[in-house]
Structure 1
Amino acid sequence: MSTVTLPAARVSTRALLTGGIVAGPLYVAVWLIQALTRDGFDITRHPASLLANGGPGWIQTTNFVVSGLLCIGAAIGLRQRMTVGSPVVRGAVWGPRLVAAYGLGLLLAAAFPADPAAGFPVGTPADYAEISTRGLGHFVAGTIGFSGLIAACLVFGAHYRAAGRRTLARFSVVTGILFFAAFAGLSAGAGSRPTIIAFDLAVILGWTWITTICRDKR
């Protein structure tokens, strides 16, 4: 009886991309469950990063670590998939690297938690906005991660456009533009409710995009 075996590299690539598919829904689910159950947390006033504060803060920290590692693994899988054959397809080098940068940003966000702010966790003054060394590190982490995600969307947009896949090209570019607008609005809006809500939606959109490209390449 003959048996059919798959090359180890192919199985590994598929597993890595599956991790990328899972990363977004897992991150969003853990974030929203905490947002609905943590005392004093208001999803319209508090960004997800604040959940890393307080006694149960380790849950969000773990969420950052797990999703960051899955994202970096997905980037490796994307690179493996996109460099198969010759010539190498457009975006095969920088697209995965930029997705990995987003994953790195998540890991750095776990290492440098956001400062307490806007009354969270409970006991924090409503107008408290002090920036500590770790808070500055968190800002740098966000800049690295979100810039990587925005750029990755644009690179993959060019990749899909070159391949004649207009729907995915447009989805990628629109995601990058909207995420940039939401991140800029959050930075300029000093934590106003509209900018927090817009950024929350942009985060969900960004993870949806990662899930989509990983599923496409798997």
Structure 2
Amino acid sequence: MTAHSALPPVATPTVSDLSPTRTLIAAGLLPGPLFILVAAAQILTRDGFDLRHHPLSALSLGDAGWVQIANFVIVGALSAAFAVGVRRGLRGGPAGTWGPVLLGGYGIGLIAAGLFVTDGAYGFPAGAPAGLPATFSWHAMVHGAAATLAFLSLTAACGVFARRFVTQRRPVWAAASLATGVAVPVLAAWPGTGAASIRLAVATLLAWAWLTALAAQLRADQRTAG
């Protein structure tokens, strides 16, 4: 036996491993951690920002607002890419029609929420009114509509995938999807302004946690299916 033949074989990716479908589904693993890390870094470093009073959308304002704008757009594009992968991977099966549509709506909503910024309020950024603005700008209204589209799309997607998991006899996944689909809109739409930004942040965290876990599970399913 020669020294060369004693070397272990080098594993190389197969065409299947590098397929567009698997690559697009894997894209769903990225936006959640990226959005949370970038937002957290800004929460800790942006002067005057206080999560107890200011929603994460307010990070799009001010001189450094481009960071959060880019954050919204990039994670939205990655979420839309994930939706395309889900369409390709689940076509003809449970959640194969409405799942990708709703995930795509979530991505598009995030992109629009980044491109159309909200208005300053509660003293952030510097020069903003001490409370809510007397009137809202057109781009703030578009931002609100886009954020609503994103939350509603993701909530509906939770229901669609819960049904898929029931069909597959995965009760834990079905329950987690239903719980997320209920918790996200309840937290986002809870009446009253007290701690509203905190509730929105928690709803956002839950939404990203579910989407990331879903991407991981669908990616594992694709690998198992070969």
- Give the alignment's TM-score, normalised by structure 2: 0.87
2:123 paired residue number: 119
Q: CA deviation at 1:38?
A: 0.3
Show CA shifts across 1:97-140 (max 9, x none): 10110100001111210111111112212113231111111111
1:19 aligns with 2:19: no
Is this contact kept in 2: 1:182–1:198, CA < 8 A? yes
1:50 paired residue number: 58
Is this contact kept in 1: 2:116–2:140, CA < 8 A? yes
Structure 1 outlier segments of 4+, above 4 Å: none
Unaligned runs of 5+ in 2: 1-11, 220-226
% identical aligned pairs: 37
1:189 aligns with 2:189: no
1:39 aligns with 2:47: yes
Q: CA deviation at 1:43?
A: 1.1
2:108 paired residue number: 104
Q: CA deviation at 1:205?
A: 0.8
Secondary structure at the counterpart of residue 210 of structure 2: helix
- Higher Cα radius of gyration: 2
1:89 aligns with 2:98: no
**What is the alpha-carbon distance in structure 2 between the residues aligned to residue 135 and residue 198 of structure 1?**
20
1:164 aligns with 2:169: yes
Q: CA deviation at 1:74?
A: 0.5
User: What number of residue pairs does the alignment pair up?
Assistant: 207
Identify the match of residue 132 of structure 2 among 117, 128, 133.
128
**What is the alpha-carbon distance in structure 2 between the residues aligned to residue 48 and residue 5 of structure 1?**
41
Show CA shifts across 1:159-191 (max 9, x none): 111110111111101001000101111xx323x
Is this contact kept in 2: 1:44–1:196, CA < 8 A? yes
Superposition RMSD in Å = 1.5
**What is the alpha-carbon distance in structure 1 between the residues aligned to residue 125 and residue 23 of structure 2?**
37
2:4 paired residue number: none
**What is the alpha-carbon distance in structure 2 between the residues aligned to residue 121 and residue 114 of structure 1?**
11
1:6 paired residue number: 15
Q: CA deviation at 1:80?
A: 1.3
- Give the alignment's TM-score, normalised by structure 1: 0.90
1:204 paired residue number: 205
Show CA shifts across 1:53-93 (max 9, x none): 0000000000001000000001111111112xxxx222111
Unaligned runs of 5+ in 1: none
**What is the alpha-carbon distance in structure 2 between the residues aligned to residue 4 and residue 165 of structure 1?**
30
Is this contact kept in 1: 2:120–2:129, CA < 8 A? no
